[in-house]
Amino acid sequence: MKVLGLQLTLPSAVLAVAFATAAHAKDADTTVSKQAVEAKIKYCEVCHGPSGQGFQGYYPIPRLAGQQPEYIKNQLEAFDERRRVNPIMFNVAHVLSPAMQTALASDFNKLNPKPFGGGQKDLVAAGKKIFEEGIANTDVPPCASCHGPEAKGDGQFPRLAGQLPDYVLKKLTNWTKERGQDPAKPDTSAIMQPIAHGLTEPQIKAVAAYLSYLQ
């Protein structure tokens, strides 16, 4: 019985040591080589498209090109801590050291491929109006007040210019299901929750259409 107990206990101890070692290695990694960053960028581009331009497949995968570095780092931390729910991105973020997060965020910020477009062109004018003026008598302020007049973002406020319209629609209509899963440690983008809830689906489609063509 003692032998059996040892057999059952030993793998658990080995796993505990392995996870502790991996966590220590992640925290200890304070520098990253250019080659390592380039390799990780290529890995990210498998899903997010060449130059981080986004990918319109069965599921829309967001544009990272030109994104605010602070926002990228905030979201990677949110994925890792499960404050923003996405099983694939949890696995990606969980193995990135702080130094690699910083390097990736900086490199993606410097990219500027042309946007895909793809939003309904007949909705662009209405989307522009909402973006610049908000919606009167509601809790929806002008999007430009946080995201900037050209939708390029600022610090923790993300760039929206050139974002895939289906991605914008999907995120805003499913906000609560993906964000704010841990009320004690809310996502930094929690400010968007009442705004997302205050927009109707046609209004979201209009804003998404406008943003999709911005360079």
21 within a domain of the structure (yes/no): no
Question: Does any domain span residue 199?
Answer: yes
Written as six digits, the tokens of 9 are 């206990």
Do 133 and 99 share a structural domain? no
User: Has residue 43 been placed in a domain?
Assistant: yes
Asked whether residue 38 falls in the same domain as residue 86, the answer is: yes
pLDDT tens readout for residues 114-144 = 998 999 999 999 999 999 999 999 989 999 9
Judge contact between 39 and 49, C-beta under 8 A: no
Nearest to 189 by CA among 79, 63, 44: 79
Residue 24 lies in a domain: no
Long-range contacts of 141-145 (CB under 8 A, 24+ apart): 141/195, 143/207
State the chain's mean pLDDT as an integer. 87
Domain boundary, last residue among 62, 85, 109: 109
Rounded to a whole number of angstroms, the distance between the first and last alpha carbons of the chain is 69
pTM of this structure:
0.83
- For residue 153, what are the domain limits? 121-212
Burial of 35 per CB tally in 10 Å (0-12, 13-18, 19+)? exposed
